[in-house]
Amino acid sequence: MFELNVVSKKRHQLFGRRKGRNLSASMKLLIEQELPCRLVPVFESSVAIVEPSEWFPNKPSAVWLEIGFGGGEHLAWQAMKNPTVALVGCEPFLNGIASLLRHLSKIEGDRVRIYPDDARDMLDLLPDQCLERIFILHSDPWPKRRHHYRRIIQHKTIDQLYNLLKPGGVLRMSTDQPDYVIWILARITAHADFRWTGRSIDDFTQSRKDWPETRYEAKGRKEKRIPTYIEFCKPVEAN
Ligand SMILES: C[S@@+](CC[C@H](N)C(=O)[O-])C[C@H]1O[C@@H](n2cnc3c(N)ncnc32)[C@H](O)[C@@H]1O
């Protein structure tokens, strides 16, 4: 069985889970046969910076990143709707990775790479200005105050994501936890240069045509939790 720890030297402590219920035989096969060809190239400590557009056989028009893709429905939808774009997905949960691989079997072109581990380990190794879009949808809210340090959205992450975006690049986030909305907004508005793309409060409450509902969001909606959509961009004139 594929071992997840072959990918990188660990730099951060992962707080979420790596495994859920046992994988079905077909999911195991996907992990064994498909994941190795989809992996982000192995990062050795001697290889510091890797340009993600070079991970694909055909040069993509843009590279987008999704952190914590869950079952991969959103990532697969974006890959399907944007045939010239390449996507990199980070997700340590094996069952979610198997689910994404299943979705990818319906998508044309070799345009998706997977980092099956803590996204923060990969972010540390990417060069500045290599991404056009970053999605962090319904990241774990860690509701207990003593666990807030586990939230992926921190001042440091926001600074790092800003640097990774190209000028004009977009960071999309969502959550259905009101206190996490405040947390995220406090951190992104503290950044001197990130700009809100919205014009009215509707932009926080209404989804966009190119922003499909995720699995977690759909579950939350059934349980009467209301999502908030947060989109900020790096100004085109930024350097
Ligand atoms: C609440 S789920 C949301 C999944 C999906 N985005 C959705 O909306 O359906 C959060 C996901 O983030 C993943 N995750 C947590 N910490 C992560 C990290 N440091 N790097 C990458 N993924 C992470 C978890 O494994 C989980 O699948």
Domain boundaries, the chain: 47-233
Which atom of ligand 1 is closest in space to residue 73's alpha carbon?
9
Q: Residue 172: its pLDDT value, please? A: 98
Q: Residue 7: its pLDDT value, please? A: 46
SS3 113: strand
Query: Would the pLDDT of 187 be above 50?
Result: yes
Nearest CA to ligand 1 atom 16: 16
Which of residues 41 and 180 earns the better pLDDT score? 180
Q: Residue 93: its pLDDT value, please? A: 95
SS3 25: helix
Give the DSSP H/E element, type plus range, for residue 85.
strand 85-90
* DSSP designation for 39: B
Residues annotated as part of the active site:
140
Q: How far apart are the first and last CA of the chain?
A: 44
**Alpha-carbon separation of residue 82 from 5, 23, 107, 205 (angstroms):** 31, 30, 11, 24
Ligand 1 pocket test: pick from 138, 175, 222 the residue with the most ligand atoms within 8 Å of its Cβ.
Answer: 138
Task: Label residue 6 by pLDDT band (50, 70, 90).
Answer: very low
Task: Label residue 225 by pLDDT band (50, 70, 90).
Answer: very high
Mean pLDDT along residues 198-204: 91
- Domain 47-233 in CATH: superfamily? Vaccinia Virus protein VP39 (3.40.50.150)
The predicted-structure confidence for 56-113, as pLDDT tens digits, reads as follows: 999 999 999 999 999 999 999 999 999 999 999 999 999 999 999 999 999 999 999 9
Query: Would the pLDDT of 161 be above 50?
Result: yes
Which atom of ligand 1 is closest in space to residue 66's alpha carbon?
6
The vertex-218 CA angle with 155 and 65, nearest 5°, equals 40
Burial degree of 238 (CB within 10 A; 0-12, 13-18, 19+): middle
Q: Residue 5: its pLDDT value, please? A: 45
Ligand 1 pocket test: pick from 11, 140, 228 the residue with the most ligand atoms within 8 Å of its Cβ.
Answer: 140
The side-by-side arrangement of strands in the sheet containing 112-115 is: 112-115, 85-90, 62-67, 131-137, 165-175, 228-233, 195-196
Q: Residue 49: its pLDDT value, please? A: 63
Nearest CA to ligand 1 atom 18: 118
Q: Percentage of residues in the chain with pLDDT exceeding 70? A: 92
Q: How far is the CA of 136 from the centre of ligand 1 (A)?
A: 8
Q: Residue 43: its pLDDT value, please? A: 56
- The mean of the pLDDT values for the chain is 91
